[in-house]
Amino acid sequence: MRLSVIVPATDRPVTLDACVKALAEAGSADEIIVVTNAPRGGPSAARNRGVEEARGEIVVFVDADVAVHRDAIGRIRDAFSADPSLTALFGSYDAEPAAAGTVSRFRNLLHHHVHHKGAGEAATFWSGLGAVRRAPFEGVGGFDPAMRYVEDIDLGLRLADRGARIRLDPEIAGTHLKRWTLAGMVRTDLLHRGVPWVRLMLRRREASGALNLGPRHRLSALASLALVGAVVARRPGVGAAALAALVVANRDFYALLARRLGPAGAAAGVGLHVLHHLTGVASVPVGVVLHLTERQ
């Protein structure tokens, strides 16, 4: 079984050297392909271009701002070798993000927590550190080059439509090297994740409960909305109840924040979590309007 690693790096990020160094130190890959030029599009086209050049039956996608753990590629190889029915597999960020600062650490810990809670069979995919058998990947047409965002989720859904088995194994881990700002977090949640995700679900005419769209996350969004509404309306009782609901629903995540960031960092993390959910709520009407405009 040959295994090819593909790194899309069309914007040549400063983290690329660290990414490739970590892959080289991890070993286990038969080849590492870095795509710095994909004239027909962005990351989707770059990944597809990498697959065209790859010789492996298994293609592994690693974002250029991820430093894989030394055992990550070996774990991927072992998983596919042990289970011939497995179509795709993806992992998670670890709990030790490279960038300092509350926003960066919160954001990476949120991703880490969501993927650890969602371990097991999945109906989605993550291209930050994910692998797929080449034949099924090519069978669904690869990544949609017209999509600049949530293209990995779209790929996972199309694979699942054909009965593919996809698994999330958070023990396949990498360190995220990205530094987050507050404005960058809001922009990503709204324009790069929330709105494209809403438009994708509307095009497919279905709802999704995958990862951060499950019942607990929807409850958290409602609680965040109620909390802000109560503050604006000066109704402390309602605000206290909404905050309590938010804390109960996310007690495991907030405990993780407390362990990693301390009490003050955890308190700031709750505020950032509320902002994260409010941005998700705001993405719904924006996504609906854009979807209707697209159809017209």
| Assigned domain for 194 exists | no
Claim to verify: residue 255 and residue 174 sit in the same structural domain: no
Q: Which residue has the higher pLDDT, 39 or 161?
A: 161
pLDDT band at 4 (very low <50, low <70, confident <90, very high): very high
Angle of CA points 46, 190, 192, to nearest 5° = 0
This prediction has a pTM of 0.92
| 98-157: pLDDT as tens digits | 898 999 999 999 999 999 999 999 999 999 999 999 999 999 999 999 998 999 999 999
Count of CB atoms within 10 A of residue 214's CB? 15
- E-strand ranges in 177-208 read none
Cβ(110)–Cβ(189) below 8 Å: no
User: In Å, how far are 119, 143, 226, 289, 296 from 157, measured between CA atoms?
Assistant: 17, 11, 32, 23, 25
Amino acid residing at 58: I
Give me the mean pLDDT over the 170-175 stretch. 97
Give me the mean pLDDT over the 282-286 stretch. 93
> By percentage, how much of the chain surpasses pLDDT 70?
97
CA-based nearest residue to 53, from 127, 142, 164, 130: 142
Claim to verify: residue 131 and residue 16 sit in the same structural domain: yes
Q: How many domains are contained in the chain?
A: 2
Cα within 13 Å of Cα(171), Cβ side: 8
Claim to verify: residue 285 and residue 231 sit in the same structural domain: yes
Q: What is the CATH number of the domain that holds 135?
A: 3.90.550.10
**CA separation for the pair 11, 149 (Å, rounded):** 15
Query: What is the per-residue pLDDT for 215?
Result: 78
Q: Which domain holds residue 119?
A: 3-180
Q: Whole-number mean pLDDT of the chain?
A: 93
Last residue of a domain, which of 160, 180, 200? 180
| Assigned domain for 204 exists | no
Cα within 13 Å of Cα(253), Cβ side: 29
| 217-249: pLDDT as tens digits | 889 999 999 999 999 999 999 999 999 999 999
Claim to verify: residue 137 and residue 252 sit in the same structural domain: no
| 174-223: pLDDT as tens digits | 999 999 999 999 999 999 999 999 999 998 887 665 555 667 888 999 99
Beta-ladder partners of 89 = 131, 167
CA-based nearest residue to 15, from 73, 80, 62, 72: 62
Query: What is the per-residue pLDDT for 213?
Result: 65
Claim to verify: residue 80 and residue 176 sit in the same structural domain: yes
pLDDT band at 295 (very low <50, low <70, confident <90, very high): confident
Angle of CA points 182, 254, 270, to nearest 5° = 40
| 32-74: pLDDT as tens digits | 999 998 767 789 999 999 999 999 999 999 999 999 999 999 9
Query: What is the per-residue pLDDT for 25?
Result: 95
